[in-house]
Amino acid sequence: MNAPSSPAPSANIVTVDLGDRAYDIHVASGLLQQAAQYLAPYARAGRLLIITDDQVSQHVLLAVANSLNGAGLSHEVFILPHGEGAKSWAQLERMTDWLLEHHVERADHIIALGGGVVGDITGFAAHIVKRGCHFVQIPTSLLAQVDSSVGGKTAINSGAGKNLVGAFHQPSLVLIDPDVLRSLPPRQLAAGFAEVVKYGLIDDAEFFDYCERNCAAFFAGDKDTQTQTIIHSVRSKARIVAADEKELSGTRALLNLGHTFGHALEAETGFSDKLLHGEAVAVGMALAFRYSARIGLCSMAEADRVATLLRSAKLPTNLQEAGAVASGQTLTAHMLHDKKMSGGTLPFLLARAIGQTFLSHDVELNDVAAFLDQEAGLLG
C-alpha cells in the first residue's frame, strides 16, 4: 500500500521512481511534530509498532509520541541497543519475536525510527516476518537521512562480514526532519557527511565543489545548508536506485564507492564504535582515489583534494587514523566476502577524477594488497 499523505506545506518531496513500489521522501524542518499526519494512514486500528534504539528513544521518540498521542493514535515501542553490534541475528530474533507477540499482520507498516542500524534491521525484519510486511523510515542520523533510509537495502551482519544476510525491500515512505540532527553527536554527523561527499565523487563534481564551499557552514549547524545538502543527497540516491534497484546493471554499484575498503576495515575493527561505518567509508574513498592515482587513472592532486575535504570534516583518511593498520593480505581476505564478487573476481570502484567514478573489472587483488601494505607502512 502506498497510502496518500498530505505533506506539511513547506515539505520538499523527492519520489523514488520504482513503478508500483514508488515512494516519497518528505524533507522538512519540524516534520516530526506532525508525524501523526503522515503516519495515521499506516496505523491499523489506530496503533503503530515503532522500532528505535536506546539513544534515539531519549532524544527523538518523544516528539513522535506526542504527535501520535495528540492525534489519538496508540503505539508500542521496541528498543534496540545502539550501535553496529545490534545488526545481529540475536537482535533480529528478539525483534521478530516482539513483532509476532504484538500480532503484526502482513499488511502492517512497521516504523523504523533511528539511524542506519535501526533502518537496516527493521527493514529486514519487515521483509521476513509473516513472509513480508511493510515499513516506514524515519531516519534520525545524517547518514540515515542522506543514504540508508532510501533504496531498500536491508541487512544484518554475519560472522563472515558486513550486511551479508539481507534483502532488497523498499520502504513505503521516508520522513526526514533535519531538526533532529541537533542532538546527533558531532562524530556521527561527520560520519554521515562521508556518504554526502560520496555523491559528489561518484558523478557530481559540482556537488563536490558545493561540499567544499559549505563544509564549515554545514558543521556550524546552518539549517539551510544542512537541509539543501540532505535534499541534494536523497535526489542523487533516488536517481541511482531508480536506475538500477537491485544492483544488476552496475549503476547502483557506484554507491559502493569506498565500501570494499571500508567494509574490510569495519570487519578488521570488529564492527564496533572504534570505526563507524561513515568513517570507514571516508578512509575507503580516500584509498580508492589514491589507488586510482597509483595505477595512473587520476592525478594525485585529485586524490589529495578528496582527502582534504574529508579531513576538514574531521574524518579519517588513512589506515592509521582508522585504527586498522593490518597487512594487505589480511584486509583483502575480508574483501573476498564482498557482495560484488562475481565468478571469483572482485570488481572495484575506481575514479578518473572527482565526479568520474566507474566500476573496474581489471583490478588484481594482489596489487591492492601491495598498495595496502604500502599504506600501512609495511613496505618501503
d(CA 167, CA 94): 19
Q: Is 82 annotated as a binding residue?
A: no
Half-sphere exposure of 373 (CA within 13 A, CB side): 12
The question of whether 247 is a catalytic residue gets the answer yes
DSSP strand pairing (109-114 vs 47-53): parallel
Choosing from 259, 290, 294, 334, which is the catalytic residue?
259
313 Cβ neighbours under 8 A, 6+ residues apart: 190, 193, 194, 197, 215, 219, 282
| Residue 144, binding choice from ligand NAD, ligand LNCXM5UN, none, Cβ under 5 to 8 Å by partner class | ligand NAD
User: Out of 91, 141, 236, 256, which residue is the one contacting ligand NAD (CB under 6 A)?
Assistant: 141
| Residue 114, binding choice from ligand LNCXM5UN, ligand NAD, none, Cβ under 5 to 8 Å by partner class | ligand NAD
| Residue 293, binding choice from ligand NAD, ligand LNCXM5UN, none, Cβ under 5 to 8 Å by partner class | none
Cβ 351 to ligand LNCXM5UN, closest distance in Å?
Answer: 16
The question of whether 259 is a catalytic residue gets the answer yes
| CA-to-CA dists, residue 330 to 267, 298, 351, 364, angstroms | 10, 27, 24, 15
Choosing from 75, 198, 232, 252, which is the catalytic residue?
252
276 Cβ neighbours under 8 A, 6+ residues apart: 84, 187, 188, 191
Q: Do you know the residue count of the chain?
A: 380
The interface region with ligand NAD, picked from 2-10, 37-45, 141-149, 361-369 by CB under 6 A, is 141-149
| Helices within 102-152 (DSSP H only) | 116-128, 142-143
26: left (phi over 0), alpha (psi -120 to 50) or beta: beta
Q: Is 118 annotated as a binding residue?
A: yes
The question of whether 195 is a catalytic residue gets the answer yes
Window 44-63: residues binding ligand NAD (CB under 6 A)? 53, 55-56, 59-60
The residues binding ligand LNCXM5UN (CB under 6 A) are 147, 151, 153, 162-163, 195, 252, 255-256, 259, 339
The question of whether 131 is a catalytic residue gets the answer yes
Determine, following the binding rule CB under 6 A, whether residue 114 of this chain makes contact with ligand NAD.
Answer: yes
Q: Measured in whole angstroms, how far is the alpha carbon of residue 134 from the centre of its chain? A: 19
d(CA 7, CA 14): 12
DSSP strand pairing (161-168 vs 153-158): antiparallel
| Residue 136, binding choice from ligand LNCXM5UN, ligand NAD, none, Cβ under 5 to 8 Å by partner class | none
Q: Which is nearer to ligand NAD, 63 or 369 (CB)?
A: 63
Cβ 269 to ligand NAD, closest distance in Å?
Answer: 13
d(CA 95, CA 78): 7
d(CA 332, CA 329): 5
The question of whether 212 is a catalytic residue gets the answer no
> Could you list the residues that contact ligand NAD (CB under 6 A)?
53, 55-56, 59-60, 82-84, 87, 114-118, 120, 140-141, 143-144, 147-148, 151, 153, 163, 180, 183-184, 188, 191, 277-278
Q: Which residues are tagged catalytic?
A: 131, 153, 195, 237, 247, 252, 256, 259, 263, 277
Q: Could you tell me which residues are annotated as the binding site for Zn(2+)?
A: 195, 259, 277
